[in-house]
Chain A
Amino acid sequence: MAKVLMIHPDKCTGCRNCELACSFEHEGQFRPGASRVQAYTWEREGMSVPMMCQQCDDAACVTVCPTGAMHRSNALANLVDWDAGTCIRCKMCTIACPFGNARYDAASSSIFKCDTCQGAPECVTFCPNGALEFVDDEQHVRSRKKAYAAKFKDAFQEVS
């Protein structure tokens, strides 16, 4: 069963535990600049939004990659993976991604994008708010849709 990372900005508190867990898992140190997920906060509005690779089916980063380094994973469904060995660091993927979710890190000469920790995302483990979930791709919006429908239900109950 294929899984996808689902974000819930309404539950995000802006604590950035996801960034810390990600950089620790991938780099063995705490460097938010090396995290594949970023949680941005707008203080005036009191809102925070986590952002990471959407693992697009029709991924621009894969299309533009001249060496095949950015590729759909054979091992895991719903994963766009990056191969350091074949990558020539042309950075085309970072230009092509409409979300800014593939970044080039000069310090490590790497492309930083979410690899879902190969199917066990640490950001999800460390999120204390339920703002990040790793869920079955068939079900992931069903629960959100039903939750919204429940609001309509409550409203109708009140007027009927």
Chain B
Amino acid sequence: MFGWTGTILRIDLTKGKVSREATDPQLARDYLGARGLGGHIVRSEVDPKTDALGADNKIVFAPGPLTGTFAPAAGRFDVVTKGPLNGVLAASNSGGTFGPELKYAGYDALIIEGKSAKPVYLWIKDDQVEIRDAAALWGHTTPDTTDLVRAETDEDAKVSCIGPAGEHLSLIANIMNEMHRAAGRTGVGAVMGSKNLKAVAVFGSGAVKVADPEGFKAAVMKARQMIQAHPVGGTGLRAYGTDVLVNILNQSGALPTRNFQDGYFPTADKTGGESLAAKQLIRPKGCFSCIISCGRVTKVDSPDYKGSGEGPEYETAWAFGADCGIDDLDAITKANYYCNEYGLDTISMGSTVACAMELFERGIITTEDTDGVQLTFGNTAAMVEMVHKTGKGEGFGAKLAQGSYRLAESYGHPEYSMTCKKQEMPAYDPRGVQGIGLNYATGNRGGCHVRGYTIAIEVLQNGAVMDPHVTDDKAGLGITFQDLTAALDSSGACLFATFGIGGAELTEMLAALTGVDYTLDEFMRIGERIWNQERLWNLTAGFTKADDALPQRLLTEPIKTGPSKGHVSRLDDMLPEYYELRGWDEEGVPTEAKLKELAL
């Protein structure tokens, strides 16, 4: 095969057994790889009602066909599993170099099943696969684990691992790759922890082969030039990182503030990408094959929060910043470093602290609950302390480690959890940007911005312009973005490549690489198939129309200050049209005709 390696690796941790199977060419064509192919594996092999942290759940690491080539910013992979935070068919996407290395080792996907009786890690060197004892690794942070694994395997091994948070089964635990890149969302780190799997190390010496080398190179050169000429993809992200969005969203009145009690944070500028570049940035960083370089190598000099590492991204700067009422960038960046070390998702972590702060200010919890900490909005030291507690799973941190929904529910007030399908929403207020609210509500993994980034049109005016405050045509916009992104994720490309290229260019690269005669229509149909695959699985797992919802606050409490003052989300104006355009019935269930059309 071209593009794909043609082999899937399967490791049964219960039996200690390693096996290989051929990649089915038809499935590869219809689902590409990564989120799509990984999703198909989980859909075929895991009961939607199974316990996500039980031995019957499986966890799949899957790169896409473009992964490992010089297609611009296409070095990504997905971790696919039943997500423990909310029970969805979860796919958590990451950059770094782990995905390409898995391809070079010879695999389109790595399926891990069962559960080890004791801590282990995997060492995959091409076709040599070992399940090794990880007793000495247990308890270590992600950077230390990476170093220790490399010392035992190969100094150039690519390491994907969990930190202490994944070990103690925090539902907001992530998986870290090469120390700084995260498969961040849906709690995938806890699935590794539940299997007693501390790390996966890979070294590959093989190749990704190309069907039409000249055609592929020409398509890649064209895509590169389009991204490099784009003001965001070519210039903005390199200069200021994703954190450039802080000021843009604040000026749109859509920067959620103090646990979504407001949509405007007067001192947000202190936490934005421009401030970050002036104060902390050492240099931009790129994932494998990236030409955009949004990553931030940073250093904090202030004595209280001294350190170095990578980040923060926009979502992180918001979660620990405006959402917690904090404008101290040094504290935010330090909290980011700690999250990476403990292996915690920064979005869910920050939003869960914000939820706890609101519970505290409302008197629902007191210092008796918080281990004596005055957990008020704006208290930077308290915010950083909560990250430590969560990472260690100690005291109040054990509650925070379950995410904001379970935290707020345990005190009888789930309405203060800013989540969709129990996953924390990111940094765009649905009251200030209508389309993104529809995307959160219908998101197949819950509150998430990277499933249908309508912000690109509604706020950033990338290629088209739509008023963020209107609901007209937002259903169609959301669907287009959701389907395009599902196919893009599954190809191995980075979402940020869309700041320059679209489905046509991705299709062109995929066709030349794989030799499959893909068209743009088929590419978008693949995205729609993947979206419906996730929807079907979630429905079988027990989700209903009632879960396509936003927190009540966003529908009834208007934004109090700033440019979007007075606005609420009008989700109900968009949802029926969304179902109709999707080819789903009024209950949000895909019709037989739609399933047949998609060969599902």
Q: Which residues of A contact B (CB under 8 A)?
A: 10-11, 13-17, 20-21, 23-24, 27-34, 41, 43-44, 46, 107, 126, 128-129
Identify which of residues 141-182 in chain B touch chain A, using a CB-to-CB cut-off of 8 Å: 143, 146, 178-180
Q: Give 18 A-B pairs besides A44-B179, A128-B291 with Cβ atoms closer than 8 angstroms.
A: A14-B285, A15-B286, A15-B291, A15-B293, A24-B70, A27-B207, A29-B207, A30-B68, A30-B69, A30-B208, A30-B209, A31-B206, A32-B104, A34-B207, A44-B143, A46-B297, A128-B286, A128-B293
Q: Which residues of A contact B310 (CB under 8 A)?
A: 46
Residue in B closest to A34 when the chains form the complex, CB atoms: B207
B249 within 8 A of A: no
Partner of B286, one of A14, A20, A30: A14
* B residues near A34, Cβ cutoff 8 Å: 207
Residue with the highest number of chain B CB atoms closer than 10 Å, among A20, A44, A128, A129: A128
CA A10 to CA B282, docked complex, whole Å: 10
Bound Cα distance A33, B209 (Å): 14
Chain B residues contacting A16 (CB-CB under 8 Å) are: 97, 288-289
Q: Nearest chain B CB to A9's CB is how many angstroms away?
A: 10
B133 to chain A, nearest CB (A): 25
Q: Is the CB of A33 within 8 A of B205?
A: yes
Instruction: Show 9 residue pairs from A and B whose CB-CB distance is below 8 angstroms, ordered by the A residue.
Output: A13-B285, A15-B288, A20-B289, A30-B208, A31-B104, A31-B206, A33-B205, A43-B146, A126-B70
Q: How far is the CA of A126 from the CA of B220 in the complex (A)?
A: 10
List CB contacts (< 8 Å) of B205-232 with chain A: 205-210, 213, 217, 224, 228
With a cutoff of 8 Å between Cβ atoms, the chain A residues found around residue B213 in the complex are: 24, 28
Nearest-neighbor residue (CB-CB) of A20 within chain B: B70
Q: Which of A14, A27, A30 contacts B70, CB < 8 Å?
A: A30
Contact of A28 among B100, B210, B285 (CB under 8 A): B210
B562 part of interface (Cβ distance < 8 Å): no
**Cβ contacts under 8 Å, A10 to chain B:** 283
- When the two chains form their complex, are residues A21 and B207 in contact, meaning their CB atoms are under 8 A apart? no
Contacts of B6 in A (CB 8 A): none
With beta carbons under 8 angstroms apart, the residue of A20, A21, A43 that contacts B178 is A43
Q: Which residues of B contact A129 (CB under 8 A)?
A: 284, 286, 293
In the complex, which of the residues B217, B283, B291 contacts A24, with contact meaning CB atoms closer than 8 Å?
A: B217
Minimum Cβ distance to chain A for residue B241 (Å): 12
Closest Cβ–Cβ distance, residue A67 to chain B (whole Å): 28
Q: How far is the CA of A112 from the CA of B217 in the complex (A)?
A: 22
Instruction: State in angstroms the CA–CA spacing of A115 and B210 once bound together.
Output: 23
Nearest chain-A residue to B293 (Cβ)? A13
Give the Cβ gap from A4 to chain B, nearest Cβ, in Å: 24
A76 CB, min distance to chain B CBs, angstroms: 24
Contact flags (1/0) for B291-309 with A, using CB distance below 8 Å? 1010101000000000011
Tell me, rounded to whole Å, the shortest Cβ–Cβ distance linking B364 to chain A.
41
Which chain B positions have C-beta within 8 A of A30?
68-70, 207-210
Q: From B155, which residue of chain A is reached at the shortest CB distance?
A: A40
In the docked arrangement, what's the CA distance between A32 and B97, Å?
A: 12
Are the C-beta atoms of A46 and B282 separated by less than 8 Å?
yes
Contact assessment for B210 and A13 in the assembled complex, using a CB-CB cutoff below 8 Å? no
- Given the complex, which residues of A lie within 8 Å of B288, measured CB to CB? 15-16
Known: A24-B213, A29-B207, A30-B207. A46 touches B70 (CB 8 A): no
C-alpha gap A135/B460 in the complex (Å):
39
By the criterion CB–CB under 8 Å, are A15 and B287 in contact?
yes
Q: Which residues of B contact A32 (CB under 8 A)?
A: 100, 104
